[in-house]
Amino acid sequence: MNNEVIVDGLYNLAFAVFHLFFLIFFCITPVGKVCGNSLEKSTPAGLAQDVIGGATVNMASRLNPQQDGVFINSIGMKFKLIPAGSFLMGSPANEKDRNSDEGVHLVEIKNPFYLGIYEVTQAQWRAVMENNPSCFRGDDRPVEQVSWTNVNIFIRKLNTREVTDKYRLPTEAEWEYACRSGTDGPFSFGNCLSTDEANYNGNYPYPGCLKGVYWGKTLPVGSLRANAWGLYDMHGNVGEWCQDWYGKDYYFYSPSHDPHGPNTGLHRVNRGGGWYINAYLCRAANRDMYRPDYGCDAIGFRLLRMS
Ligand SMILES: [Ca+2]
Ligand SMILES: [Ca+2]
């Protein structure tokens, strides 16, 4: 064993110990300042009563899946039909605090698809996986601490349960198309992102915008405002896994319609930013990426169902 290996081992050990203490302090201790187990018991605004509580399956079987372009599945997940169309993906060179991997380019989405109106909740995760890895407990809060790999186990199980193969994660392009919902600014709400519109660290608003609230935790899905296509929490709350491998230069060579990301990579794309970060990292064009086996209390997902 040479010195490099020993140093590497010590570094990993130190990191593991730090992470363990972090989890104990923030996630396990009942007095931990960010794990409000029962702080919000009320039904979040915008989340229909029929989707939460015990009646989800009955409601799903009563509703016409195509009604109003909304589909409700066997575990009460609500999906909105997103029309086919074209959009400018990425951010213009003059967008504040942008990154160089966001080169703007025209993308066509050829087929309509259903996208989750909300981030996947802990109740929905538990209904399929029979566990709940989340730090901030609450049936209607988004599930978090889920890796890309585990999310794909969830998807496989849900497909099996409903005898279909239509569920998957959105591609990065589908995600940004739905987030923008016909808009082309930094946020689907315009040039600023208020904390009435998204759950992020309101102490760090977008340049030139007003400070807001910092909740310091996830909020029940749908607590804040929907975008123009009726989707909640596309900005903030938890960052959302996309199907694609991350490619820093991908936008320079990606196909002009229905891009699916590079064929291989080290990291999977995660979009929209989480409850603890600055507004600029919640921009519609911002691209995050993590190893597929990584998870944390600000990472969750939203599902796509092919139409
Ligand atoms: Ca989100
Ligand atoms: Ca970025």
- Tokens linked to 105: 């380019």
Ligand 2 centre distance from Cα of residue 220 (Å): 26
Ligand 2 centre distance from Cα of residue 240 (Å): 14
Q: Among all ligands shown, which has an atom nearest to the Cα of 197?
A: 1
CA atoms within 13 A on the CB side of 246: 18
Domain range for 64 is 3-306
Q: Among all ligands shown, which has an atom nearest to the Cα of 95?
A: 2
Q: 301 — alpha (psi -120 to 50), left (phi > 0) or beta?
A: beta
Ligand 1 centre distance from Cα of residue 1 (Å): 44
Ligand 1 centre distance from Cα of residue 256 (Å): 26
Query: What does each of the 307 residues of the chain score in pLDDT, given as a tens digit?
Result: 455 545 455 555 554 454 445 444 544 433 223 333 322 223 333 333 232 222 222 233 333 445 579 999 999 999 999 999 999 999 999 999 999 999 999 999 999 999 999 999 999 999 999 999 999 999 999 999 999 999 999 999 999 999 999 999 999 999 999 999 999 999 999 999 999 999 999 999 999 999 999 999 999 999 999 999 999 999 999 999 999 999 999 999 999 999 999 999 999 999 999 999 999 999 999 999 999 999 999 999 999 999 9
pLDDT at 280: 98
Q: How far is CA 131 from CA 25, 36, 43, 150, 186, in A?
A: 21, 19, 23, 12, 36
As for how many domains the chain has, the answer is 1
Residue type, position 146, single letter:
V
Ligand 2 centre distance from Cα of residue 158 (Å): 31
Confidence (pTM): 0.81
Ligand 2 centre distance from Cα of residue 284 (Å): 10
CATH number at residue 58: 3.90.1580.10
Ligand 2 centre distance from Cα of residue 282 (Å): 9
Q: Are 172 and 244 in contact (CB under 8 A)?
A: yes
Ligand 1 centre distance from Cα of residue 182 (Å): 18
